[in-house]
Amino acid sequence: MEANQNTGAQMPGMAQIVERNITALLERRKAEESKNTKEQKLADGITGFAGSMLFVYIHLTLFGLWVIWNLGWIGLKPFDPSFVVLAMFASVEAIFLSTFVLISQNRANAQADRRADLDLQVSLLAEHEITRIVSLVTAIAKKMDIDDAHHPELNELAQDIKPENVMDVMDKHKEQADNTKSSK
């Protein structure tokens, strides 16, 4: 087994480049997280806690005690018999929690957009490289007089695809699908 300087021993059956890429992506993610502002870290922390079962258990306990107390079931004088104060607390908490969730989601969406852009760039580069390889292999096959070198699909595969044309066609198909749905 070949040793990897970042992660210890290389996993069997995994190409070294894959492991290098994983390590690079994890390091990049750590670096990006370290750049988060205190406000972003706070919003993520609150959102993380609010999305936990501990948060649910605490609320079940607090709200349950509040209701039981104010129904008079435990013999203590009710302090919120109409539950107006409870409703106000719950409403204010919901306002703040939804704001924290939106802050975290906006940042997550920005990260997802950057990753999608990276995926697109890598895909476009791979498509361009494959197109060049198809052209080269086709030229070699023609020079060697291989029958399949004259396959009509090869000329099409050997052409670069412009992403803006693909997006235009996708938009056209979406419009047609939307028109079909709206006409039903």
Residue 163 belongs to some domain of the structure: yes
| Per-residue pLDDT at 27 | 92
Residue 69 belongs to some domain of the structure: no
Whether 142 contacts 149, CB under 8 Å: yes
Q: At a CB cut-off of 8 Å and minimum separation 6, what does 71 contact?
A: 78
Number of domains forming the structure of the chain: 1
Residue 90 belongs to some domain of the structure: yes
Residue 102 belongs to some domain of the structure: yes
Residue 170 belongs to some domain of the structure: yes
Provide the residue range defining the domain that includes 137: 14-50+82-177
Residue 123 belongs to some domain of the structure: yes
Residue 75 belongs to some domain of the structure: no
Residue 70 belongs to some domain of the structure: no
Whether 36 contacts 29, CB under 8 Å: no
pLDDT, tens digit, 9 for 90 and up, residues 64-95 = 999 999 999 999 999 999 999 999 999 999 99
Q: Which residue is listed with tokens 């936990």?
A: 52
| Per-residue pLDDT at 10 | 63
Question: For residue 23, with 0-12 CB atoms within 10 Å meaning exposed, 13-18 middle and 19 or more buried, which class applies?
Answer: middle
Q: In a structure prediction context, what are the per-residue pLDDT tens digits for the chain, which is 184 residues long?
A: 444 444 455 667 678 888 888 898 899 889 988 988 898 889 999 999 999 999 999 999 999 999 999 999 999 999 999 999 999 999 999 999 999 999 999 989 998 998 898 888 888 889 889 988 988 888 888 888 877 666 777 777 777 778 888 888 888 998 998 898 888 7
